[in-house]
């Protein structure tokens, strides 16, 4: 099922890297399709990644509302994280559960909160997310993530 979801996102032009797991309970905005997610990422349950902003058209005349989101490699988005348009999240970064990401977040950090802010650097070398970090049930779909 997750394969079909990933295929659907890719058909809409979203770049999803190798071994990246996107929970079936997450939502990617395919309206404009300007989302890029690197390799080995874990996008957990309830995450929403938004690449356009309809509100901008109402606030600023002439605004298209179009944007983009770029997520590096080996990024963990905790449950119910929302990533707004025109944000870049660097590689090897963890975003804590329930965060609202409105500004760029650099590589190799833990960040959380609303708006998400860097809390601390992560130790290097960065452990890479593996298949074991992508929990599966006997049906092959994510359990808690
Ligand atoms: C951020 C996280 C990784 C913990 O990091 P940590 O450095 O070990 O944080 P701690 O638990 O020591 O908490 C440190 C402080 O940050 C706060 N905090 C922790 N996580 C937070 C979050 N997601 N949002 C806001 N504040 C958070 C704690 O309340 C604590 O504040 P206090 O010192 O005022 O009490 C963890 O809380 C988290 O969000 N994990 C993601 C879980 C998830 O989504 N799993 C999906 C299924 S795999």
What ligand 1 atom has the least distance to the C-alpha of 120? 7
Report how far residue 96's alpha carbon sits from residue 78's, in angstroms, rounded to the nearest whole number: 5
pLDDT higher than threshold 60 for residue 35 = yes
Closest CA to 117 of 129, 109, 125, 126: 109
Residues with a catalytic annotation lie at 52
Assigned domain for 143 exists:
no
> 7 φ, ψ to 5°?
-60, -45
Assigned domain for 89 exists:
yes
pLDDT higher than threshold 50 for residue 138 = no
Q: What's 18's domain CATH number?
A: 2.160.10.10
132 lines ligand 1 (CB under 6 A): no
Query: How far, CA to CA in Å, does 55 sit from each of 47, 58, 64, 85, 99?
Result: 20, 5, 10, 12, 21
Q: How many domains, in total, are found in the chain?
A: 1
What mean pLDDT do residues 43-59 have?
A: 91
Alpha carbon 67 to its chain's center: 15
Assigned domain for 33 exists:
yes
Assigned domain for 55 exists:
yes
**3-7, 13-17, 25-29, 105-109 — which is least confidently predicted?**
3-7
Assigned domain for 19 exists:
yes
- Cα torsion for 76, 17, 70, 98, to the nearest 10°? -20
**47-56, 58-67, 71-80, 98-107 — which is least confidently predicted?**
58-67
| Domain enclosing residue 53, as ranges | 2-123
97 lines ligand 1 (CB under 6 A): yes
Assigned domain for 132 exists:
no
Assigned domain for 138 exists:
no
pLDDT higher than threshold 90 for residue 3 = no
Report how far residue 77's alpha carbon sits from residue 113's, in angstroms, rounded to the nearest whole number: 12
- pLDDT for position 6: 87
- Cα torsion for 1, 82, 49, 77, to the nearest 10°? -60
Assigned domain for 41 exists:
yes
* Better pLDDT: 74 or 33: 74
Tell me which residue has its CA closest to atom 44 in ligand 1: 78
pTM: 0.91
């Amino acid at each position: 099922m997750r394969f079909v979801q990933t295929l659907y996102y890719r058909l809409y032009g979203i770049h999803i890297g190798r071994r990246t797991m996107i929970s079936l309970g997450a939502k990617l905005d395919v309206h404009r399709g300007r989302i890029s997610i690197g390799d080995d990422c874990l996008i957990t349950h309830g995450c929403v990644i938004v690449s356009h902003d309809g509100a901008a058209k109402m606030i600023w005349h002439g605004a298209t509302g179009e944007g983009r989101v770029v997520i590096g490699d080996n990024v963990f988005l905790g449950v119910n994280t929302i990533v707004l348009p025109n944000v870049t999240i660097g590689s090897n970064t963890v975003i804590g559960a329930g965060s609202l990401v409105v500004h760029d977040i650099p590589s190799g950090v833990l960040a959380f909160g609303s708006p998400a802010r860097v809390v601390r650097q992560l130790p290097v070398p960065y452990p890479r997310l593996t298949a074991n970090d992508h929990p599966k049930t006997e049906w092959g779909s994510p359990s808690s993530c």
